[in-house]
Each structure stands twice: as structure tokens, then as C-alpha cells.
Amino acid sequence: MPSLKELKDRIGSVKSTQKITKAKQMVAAAKLRRAQAAAEAGRPYAERLSAVMASLAGKVSGDSAPKLLAGTGSDKRNLLVVVNTDKGLCGGLNSNIVKAAKAKATELLAEGKDVEFYLVGKKGRAPLKREHPQRIGNHFDTSTVKTPGFEEADAIAAELIAMFDDNKFDVAHLIYPTFQSALVQNPTVNQLIPVPSPEGDGDGGDAVVEYEPGEEEILEELLPRYVKTQLFGALLEREASEQGASMTAMDNATRNAGDLINKLTIEYNRRRQAAITTELIEIIAGAEAL
């Protein structure tokens, strides 16, 4: 049974923790506005680029299609590009991404395919290494920059495209969180390489469009940009998801700390009152004995 001093020290400790979680919640809320605006601003560009590629990809097929679009002709070797955060204290965000990556790996392995992981961010490395120690490949460290941007996406895309050109994998899947709100960040799994042919014919419909230079040359330029754009969008979504999850987690931690402080305060007051009552009884009993 803790003493009054121990209870008082514990109340002070929880109050200090509550101040920290409250401060982090406010910081995350401030960062969330910027991160959410950046993520939402990047989505229209990616959608428009997909529409342009749909129009071009429908006109290119067979041997004339670039390798990034046509693929290697096989889907045996799969690379899972997993985008996690570099910092913790963001609830179950990273564990949900890791869970989605493990589920995708299990699905591919059950089909008799080879799986390798390419890890972006620090927090997903340990759990994946514990379960798939032989399947961890390269990783990209984003912790050295304050906010990862297009430069980091460009570097990741360049490395992945070089690996694809060297026939180190056949298919790459991108696994990252998609920000919906501060309460909801859903893991998303999309094929990244070879670039999937978008459905439909884009915004052009049946209109006759002449491209200069030809479709093949334009696709040669657009396909790497498309990969970079997808990775850049994933990094933006990750930042918004991290701040949203962090704000929610810190809000819950602050509330839980408040509840714990109330319980400890009640316990402290009861113990203190009991001690005072005991002292009064002893004083009264001593006076009556005299």
C-alpha cells in the first residue's frame, strides 16, 4: 500500500506527463493543418497526370511500350515499398501499415512468389525484421530532413527505377497510409512498378489528339515522373497521417492522465483523512485516559 508521500509524488509525475502530452498535442495540431493542406494540394496533380497517362497508354502497346509500362513479362519477384514514419507516439499508425505489409507479403508468398521489402522510415523496420529477417532489402532514411519532400521522393524513385532496370524485381507495390481525418488513416496498397495502365482513355474520350513528339517519347518522360509523383504523394500522406494520429493519441493520453490524476487525488485525500481521523482518535483517547 503506497504511502501519502508516494501518492503525492506519483500525482506530480502524472501531472508532468500530462503537460508533455498536452504540448505535443498542440504541436501536432499546428503541424497537421500544413501537412493536410499539402497532401490535399498534391492529389489533383496526381489525378491529372493519371488521366494524361491513360490517354497515352491506350495508344502504345506491344514492343513499343516502355519497360516501366510493359514490365519484365513476369511477376515472380515482388518488392514491397513500405512507407512508415520516423517518430513514434502516433497511436497504431505504424502497426497498421506493418500489418498491411505483412498481409500483402503473406498473400504473395502463398502464391509461390518471391518477396523483398524496401523500407522508408524507421518505425517499420524492427517488426518486419523480426518476422522476415531474410527478406529485408534496401531502406531509405528520411529522418535526416525536417519534412521529406519531392527531393526525397526523387531519390527513392531513382533508386527503385535503377533496381527495376537491373532486373532486381518484377513488380513493386507501394504501401503507405492515406490521410482521411485525424481519426482515420487507412493503409493503402498500390502497384507502383510497372506502372499500371489506368482504366479508361483519359479526358480525351474519342477525340483525335496528335502528340509531338510521339506517344512513346512522351511516356519515356512521364513514366518516371509518375513514379516520383506517387512516392511524393505517399510521403505527403504519411506526414499528414502522422500528425493526425499523433494529435489523437496525445489527446487520449492527456485525457487518461487527467482521469488517473483524479483517481490518485481521491485516494490521496482518503488516506490523508484516514490519517487525520486516526490521530484525532488517539488524542481523544489519550485525553479520556487522563
The C-alpha cell at 20 is: 508533455
Helix, strand, coil distribution of the chain in percent, nearest 5? 60, 15, 25
- Do 95 and 233 fall within a single domain? yes
Compute the residue count for the chain.
Answer: 290
Confidence band (pLDDT; 50, 70, 90) for 31? confident
- Do 207 and 271 fall within a single domain? no
The residues, any chain, with a CB within 8 Å of residue 257's CB and separated by 6 or more, are: 14, 15, 17, 18, 21
- What mean pLDDT do residues 171-183 have? 87
Residues 184-220: pLDDT tens digits?
Answer: 888 888 888 887 765 544 444 444 556 566 666 777 7
Active site residue 106: no
- pLDDT above 90 covers a percentage of the chain that reads 2
Has residue 167 been placed in a domain? yes
Catalytic site residue from 11, 68, 90, 235: 90
- Do 135 and 256 fall within a single domain? no
Kind of pairing between the strands at 136-140 and 114-120: parallel
- Do 215 and 229 fall within a single domain? yes
- Do 217 and 272 fall within a single domain? no
Has residue 217 been placed in a domain? yes
Q: Distance (Å, rounded) from C-alpha 115 to C-alpha 169?
A: 9
Q: Distance (Å, rounded) from C-alpha 68 to C-alpha 64?
A: 12
Kind of pairing between the strands at 185-193 and 171-179: antiparallel
Q: Distance (Å, rounded) from C-alpha 264 to C-alpha 253?
A: 16
Amino acid symbol at 240:
A
- CATH number for the domain spanning 107: value is 3.40.1380.10
pTM over 0.75: yes
Residues 88-111: pLDDT tens digits?
Answer: 788 788 888 988 988 988 888 888
Number of domains in the chain: 2
- Do 68 and 208 fall within a single domain? yes
pLDDT value at residue 52: 75
Has residue 222 been placed in a domain? yes
Residues 265-277: pLDDT tens digits?
Answer: 888 888 888 888 8
pLDDT value at residue 201: 46
143 has a pLDDT exceeding 60: yes
Confidence band (pLDDT; 50, 70, 90) for 285? confident
The C-alpha cell at 135 is: 527478406
Has residue 28 been placed in a domain? no
- What mean pLDDT do residues 249-267 have? 89
Confidence band (pLDDT; 50, 70, 90) for 63? low
Task: List the domain range (segments joined by +) for residue 83.
Answer: 35-248
Has residue 26 been placed in a domain? no
What separation in angstroms does the CA of 34 have from each of 28, 110, 183? 10, 41, 17
57 has a pLDDT exceeding 70: no
Contact between 143 and 152 (Cβ < 8 Å): no
46 has a pLDDT exceeding 70: yes
Confidence band (pLDDT; 50, 70, 90) for 53? confident
- Do 220 and 151 fall within a single domain? yes
- Do 259 and 233 fall within a single domain? no
pLDDT value at residue 198: 59
Residues 64-78: pLDDT tens digits?
Answer: 677 777 777 888 889
pLDDT value at residue 51: 77
pLDDT value at residue 209: 56
